[in-house]
Amino acid sequence: MRKGQNPAKFVKDVARPERITVALLNYIPFLSGFYAETLDVLKVSLETMRRDAGLPFDLMVFDNGSCPEVRDFLIQEKDEGRIQYLILSEKNMGKGGAWNVMLTGAPGEIIAYTDADVLFSPNWLKRSVEILETFPNVGMVTARPFRTPPEFYESTLKWARDNATLTEGQFIPWETFLEFNLSLGQTEEENKKVYAETRDWRVVYKGVTAMAGASHWQFTAYKSTLQQFLPFDMDKPMGQVRQLDKRMNDAGLLRLMVSDPLAMNMSNTLGYLRGELGKERGKRKEGFARRVLNAGPVKKMLLAVYNKIFNWYYS
């Protein structure tokens, strides 16, 4: 039998969420090997995201089955008011499974999604939302220009030819192009040919400039738009995320990027902040041990062993 009245009945006002929810997906199963620096990467991503986004937002973090040290850090961040919504998954649901929860549950009208290894620059959110709200029928906006597969922005070019000022050219500077691709593990030499043979598409509409293209690793979109593509049925934790890129293009939605780099992929280390990407540009010769490790057969064998051990523990 109830005793007394629930005090919540006398609360007249409740907190309202911000119009924008930044939704970050995190997965750090352990803090060694490939993941040795990933907690530090996550901390830098959170710090730069909050520093000067240009617009207010609530932060939602979905942790996809990380180790206790990472969960403890995230819980502390929430307890201290730096994370507004924290979801701790017992197991790794894969990116598609996490998206189903995050993109459905985020309370904001606008969702700015990000992987946990993104370094942000000032006004990254403001600039993204400006494009989102200026251009019509926008699917997603990424806060960095880089060259994406043309087959994923065909609808953008088709619309721009009839409704905006569309220009083809080398608009992304070589250094900006290269720094992003180096972060993906590519080399300077292989990128020279790609840069020379490909082009950018600049779109100007109502005085706002954007680049054609976008990507699933970081994007800003209306929640109502994202609902059209849920749920995601992905049978692997990674490698199938381009489904969103393709579906949006097939639906005729615009996929756009800001015209200057306001987001950067750090990958699994803080090497970008230490300036180590420059060292990959041939400024110093590889040592003998490194050359041996990078030899095709040796590299293939060692990575196969690493993958087997990883699967024993985490599959």
Higher pLDDT, 300 or 24: 24
Cβ-in-10-Å burial (0-12, 13-18, 19+) of 233 comes to exposed
Token pair listed for 98: 């996490």
Residue 130's pLDDT is what?
Answer: 98
Residue 313's pLDDT is what?
Answer: 65
**Bridging pattern class, strands 218-222 and 110-115:** antiparallel
Whether residue 143 contacts residue 114, with contact meaning beta carbons closer than 8 Å, is answered with no
Whether residue 57 contacts residue 110, with contact meaning beta carbons closer than 8 Å, is answered with no
CA 33 to CA 306: how far, in whole Å?
10
Residue 283's pLDDT is what?
Answer: 44
Residue 246 has pLDDT above 70, yes or no: yes
In 3D space, the residue among 231, 216, 56, 54 whose CA is nearest the CA of residue 140 turns out to be: 216
Rg (C-alpha) for the chain, rounded Å, is 21
CA distances from 315 to 127, 151, 238, 268, 311 (A): 40, 34, 13, 20, 5
Task: Calculate helix-pair angle for 154-163, 242-250, nearest 10 degrees.
Answer: 40
Q: Name residue 111's beta-bridge partners.
A: 21, 221
- For residue 255, the one-letter residue type is R
Q: Name residue 85's beta-bridge partners.
A: 60
Residue 282 has pLDDT above 90, yes or no: no
E strands present in 217-282 = 218-222, 254-257, 263-265
Q: Name residue 203's beta-bridge partners.
A: 166, 210
**Bridging pattern class, strands 58-63 and 20-26:** parallel
Residue 312 has pLDDT above 60, yes or no: yes
Query: Considering the entire predicted model, what is its pTM?
Result: 0.85
The pLDDT tens digits of the residues spanning 27-80 come to 999 999 989 999 999 999 999 999 999 999 999 999 999 999 999 999 999 999
- For residue 75, the one-letter residue type is I
With cut-offs at 50, 70 and 90, classify the pLDDT of residue 4.
Answer: low
With cut-offs at 50, 70 and 90, classify the pLDDT of residue 291.
Answer: low
Higher pLDDT, 301 or 221: 221
The pLDDT tens digits of the residues spanning 256-278 come to 999 999 999 998 888 878 775 54
